[in-house]
Amino acid sequence: MKKFHDGYRRVCRSVVALALVTCALPGYAQEVYPTRAITLIVPFPPGGVAEITGRPTAMAMEKILKQPIALVNRPGAGGAVGNAAVANARPDGYTLLMALSSISVIPAADALFDRKPAYAIDQFAPIALISADPTILVSHPSLPVKNLQALVALARTKQGQMSYSSSGIYGALHMPMEMFLHHYKLKMRHVPTNGGGPALTTLLGGHVELTAGGPAAITSHVKSGKLRPHVSWGAKRHENYPDVPTFKEQGADIEYYIWSGLMAPRATPEPLLKVLRDAVRKAVEDADFKTAMARVNSPIQYMDAPEFAKYWDADARRLAAVVKVVGKVDDKK
């Protein structure tokens, strides 16, 4: 019996080996991408949104591409360092970027200040949008307003006296606030900090009155009554905040998301991009990926390259317009 099995196995093995060799033959002429590890650059420090969504994405794609994907943090200058590194990387499909929405703001700010641009938006080829989360306007509970109308009315009577914190000038939480202020023609004091965490801490301590918060970051504080949500920047109501209206419902045509998406250098050959796009399409259906994203309260918002390119284009336009409106801070005085 055993002998039979051994023989059977041997035959099987040879057949499989032969099949593999035949399959691999054309591969010698043109190797099947990917043949080695892919580097996924996260342009932010560890622990941030880009890494939290990047890791599960990378893990799910590893399963599909059968090659390891190494996540590398290249923080600096609000994402500019890592973005620029990918923009100028060799377009061989082995260097990818986990970009956040700020990717569109940096070139706009560079243009505003006449700086040598770190990179240009057209240096990237979008692969897929992974997640998009609107910010939510939250206030300290000591502020005696319960809804947007009251808030706007109060801010009108106190022009230039109320204050808000942000993750930094032209940062991910500064942009939505400027959209809001510009739309309602309000003036407030801007207290920039150095990140989403410190911006939230400053509000929790009551040192400012408002901030735009990421839905995941503010959840526990809203539940415990330490923060009061007013309005969301999303087009639809946020599923975790069904009672919080959107700006659009309130008649203000403003929209803002902190999104994360996968990108490659522009010149990456189309067949390789196709492989990556297919991999992401399967990866977002992966059960482990879904659980991982649900755990960090990050809603999956998958879009394939063509759709994502359109989405990104519209978003970049909106953001560039905001940067222009904000202008150079000194010029306003």
Positions touching another protein (CB under 8 A) are: 45-48, 51-52, 55, 71-78, 80-81, 84, 109, 112-113, 115-116, 118, 160-161, 163, 168-170, 189-195, 197-198, 200-202, 204-208, 216, 219-221, 223-224, 226, 292, 294-297, 328-330
- State the distance between the two ends of the chain, measured CA to CA, in whole angstroms: 91
How far, in Å, are 275, 305, 331 from residue 13 at the CA level? 29, 40, 75
* DSSP H or E run through 304: strand 300-304
Q: Give the dihedral sign, CA 281/285/286/290.
A: positive
Amino acid 150 reads A
**Residue at 172: amino acid letter:** A
For residue 327, the minimal CB distance to another protein (Å) is 10
Question: How far from 39 is each of 96, 159, 168, CA to CA, in Å?
Answer: 6, 48, 28
CB-wise, 248 or 290, nearer to another protein? Answer: 290
| SS3 of residue 239 by DSSP | coil
Query: What is the Cα–Cα distance from 210 to 246, expressed in whole angstroms?
Result: 17
Minimal distance in Å, beta carbon 104 to another protein?
15
- Pick 14 or 159: Cβ nearer another protein: 159
Minimum CB distance to another protein smaller for 118 or for 280? 118
Distance CA 125, CA 248 (A): 31
Q: How far is the CB of 75 from another protein (least distance, A)?
A: 5
Residue type, 126: P
Q: How far is the CB of 253 from another protein (least distance, A)?
A: 26
Kindly tell me which of 122 and 330 has the beta carbon lying closer to another protein: 330
Beta partners for residue 194, in sequence order: none
Nearer to another protein, 74 or 228 (CB): 74
Tokens 């284009």 label which residue? Answer: 313
CB 191, min distance to another protein, A: 5
Smallest distance, another protein to C-beta of residue 4, A: 41
**Cα dihedral 227→47→315→253 (10° resolution):** -10
> By C-beta, is 63 or 189 nearer to another protein?
189
CB of 120 to another protein, least distance (A): 13
Per the rule left: phi > 0, alpha: psi between -120 and 50, beta: everything else, 29 is alpha
Nearer CB in complex with another protein: 244/303: 244
Nearer of residues 75 and 299 to another protein, judged by Cβ = 75
Rounded least distance, CB 69 to another protein, Å: 11
In angstroms, the CA 162 to CA 140 distance is 12
Q: In the sheet where 228-232 sits, what is the strand order?
A: 189-192, 163-166, 210-213, 136-139, 228-232
